[in-house]
């Protein structure tokens, strides 16, 4: 089949790899002029590690990634709020959790795609999709394909508009400043500091490199002035524990990014004619879900398998794909919203009670529940380790 993939992010590149491995004729169309440094870092949880192993690149990822063993929760005054044992999740799922910079992650995916002989056509911005799945680009050119994969992200997806009639994401009332920093880190532990309407996370990748995200409740969307980001962070986290203040003080201002964080209400319709949505275009979840890129990878693997299982019947393949993926991704979207509603709650009494509950939480039970939820529809298990 001739397959056109719209968007060269995680979902687009991963689906191109998966579909090419099934023998299809695949091309990726990306609006940017070149591969860009998107975001700071991600945790590849075991469900995503499984997919990367199927693509033959898990070892390449592991070679440049960190291997966090715990996620420590602390209050903004440094109180211990408990810890999630990531090792338990890895053990239960049979694959490792890995922390990696976005640049490294995207580079390894793209190198694998190139090794399969697939082109990414940069400078191709989709502006409209018509009935019959004709894709129009901003330079006036058009294409048709046997299958079009809409992987054009969460903020203004032409593919989502074509399928559902609406591409408007939902602002969830908080901002994230993100960046990469140098320092001296405990490579075993992710640090997650909880405040009142604010949060700061530090994810080590190596002993001297980490990525971080500072989040804060903000009711409305405001300005994005990069010159002010460092001062905004200083003001917001001035009295937080030393590791947070050190990162802000040392973060290269030019490498701080600020995001008004949006997701999408789950919709169960992901395909129309010969176009199917994947990744954030289908089911954007908040960063508090920790699973956006991981679910994009799962989409890629499942889509290729559904197309193979229903060869010659694309409608059935796309129906099977949506049926397989909708509940799991909707659950992850709602879990992301639930955690965000708690972390970015500005009520002091609520946050005190939340922190007290965290100190007494059943972290082993939480790790098991996370592992079981993320394992859904994947052939995982301790025997795979």
Ligand X SMILES: Cc1cc2nc3c(=O)[nH]c(=O)nc-3n(C[C@H](O)[C@H](O)[C@H](O)COP(=O)(O)OP(=O)(O)OC[C@H]3O[C@@H](n4cnc5c(N)ncnc54)[C@H](O)[C@@H]3O)c2cc1C
**Binding interface with ligand X (CB under 6 A):** 6-12, 29-32, 38-39, 42-43, 124-126, 151-153, 158, 176, 178, 213, 259, 261, 279-281, 287, 290-294, 296
Residue with tokens 């005190």: 352
Name the minimum Å distance from CB 106 to ligand X: 9
CB contact set of 325 (below 8 Å; sequence gap of 6+):
270, 282, 283, 298, 299, 302, 377
- Calpha distance 11→275 (Å, rounded): 15
Nearer to ligand X among residue 337 and residue 362 (C-beta):
337
Q: Is 281 exposed, middle or buried (0-12, 13-18, 19+ CB in 10 A)?
A: buried
Nearer to ligand X among residue 39 and residue 204 (C-beta):
39
Name the minimum Å distance from CB 379 to ligand X: 20
Name the minimum Å distance from CB 383 to ligand X: 25
What is the spatial order of strands in the sheet that 134-137 belongs to? 126-130, 134-137, 142-144
Nearer to ligand X among residue 2 and residue 352 (C-beta):
2
Nearer to ligand X among residue 162 and residue 240 (C-beta):
162
> How far is the first Cα of the chain from the last one, in angstroms, to the nearest whole number?
35
What is the C-alpha R_g of the chain?
Answer: 21
Angular region, 187: left φ>0, alpha ψ -120 to 50, beta rest: alpha
Nearer to ligand X among residue 43 and residue 248 (C-beta):
43
Nearer to ligand X among residue 75 and residue 176 (C-beta):
176
Nearer to ligand X among residue 54 and residue 257 (C-beta):
257
Name the minimum Å distance from CB 48 to ligand X: 7
Q: Is 250 exposed, middle or buried (0-12, 13-18, 19+ CB in 10 A)?
A: exposed
Nearer to ligand X among residue 205 and residue 306 (C-beta):
205
Name the minimum Å distance from CB 293 to ligand X: 3
- Calpha distance 328→63 (Å, rounded): 30
Name the minimum Å distance from CB 341 to ligand X: 17
Alpha-helical regions (H) of 148-291: 158-164, 229-236, 242-250, 280-283
Distances (CA, A) of 146 to 2, 5, 117, 149, 270: 5, 11, 19, 10, 17
Name the minimum Å distance from CB 349 to ligand X: 28
Could you tell me the two tokens for 319?
């129906």
DSSP designation for 65: S
- Asked whether 241 and 74 are in contact (CB, 8 A), the reply is yes
């Amino acid at each position: 089949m001739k397959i056109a993939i719209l968007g060269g992010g995680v979902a687009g590149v991963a689906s191109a790899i998966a579909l090419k491995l099934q023998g299809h004729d695949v091309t990726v169309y990306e609006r940017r002029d070149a591969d860009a440094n998107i975001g700071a870092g991600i945790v590849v949880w075991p469900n995503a590690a499984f997919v990367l192993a199927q693509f033959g690149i898990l070892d390449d990822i592991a070679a440049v990634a960190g291997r966090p063993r715990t996620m420590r929760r602390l209050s903004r005054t440094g109180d211990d709020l408990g810890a999630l044992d990531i090792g338990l999740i890895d053990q239960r799922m049979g694959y490792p959790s890995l922390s990696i910079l976005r640049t490294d992650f995207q580079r390894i995916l793209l190198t694998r795609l190139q090794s399969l002989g697939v082109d990414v056509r940069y400078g191709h911005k989709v502006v409209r999709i018509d009935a019959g799945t004709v894709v129009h680009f901003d330079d006036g050119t058009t294409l048709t394909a046997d299958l079009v994969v809409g992987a054009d992200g969460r903020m203004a997806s032409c593919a989502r508009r074509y399928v559902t009639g609406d591409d408007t994401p939902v602002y969830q009332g908080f901002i994230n400043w993100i960046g990469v920093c140098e320092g001296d880190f405990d490579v075993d532990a992710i640090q997650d500091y909880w405040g009142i309407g604010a949060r700061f996370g530090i994810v080590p990748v190596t002993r001297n490199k980490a990525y971080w995200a500072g989040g804060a409740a903000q009711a409305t969307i405001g300005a994005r002035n990069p010159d002010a980001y460092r001062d905004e962070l200083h003001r917001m986290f001035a009295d937080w524990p030393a590791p947070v203040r050190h990162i802000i003080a040392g973060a290269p201002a030019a490498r701080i990014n600020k995001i008004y964080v949006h997701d999408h209400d789950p919709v169960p319709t992901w395909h129309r004619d010969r176009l199917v949505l994947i990744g954030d275009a289908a089911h954007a979840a908040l960063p508090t879900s920790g699973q956006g890129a991981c679910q994009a990878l799962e989409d890629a693997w499942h889509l290729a398998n559904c197309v193979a299982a229903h060869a010659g019947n694309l409608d059935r393949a796309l129906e099977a794909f949506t049926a397989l993926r909708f509940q799991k991704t909707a659950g992850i979207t709602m879990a992301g919203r639930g955690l965000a509603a708690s972390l970015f709650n500005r009520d002091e009494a609520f946050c005190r009670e939340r922190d007290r509950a965290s100190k007494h939480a059943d972290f082993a039970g939480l790790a098991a529940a996370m592992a079981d939820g993320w394992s859904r529809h994947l052939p995982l298990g301790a025997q795979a380790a």
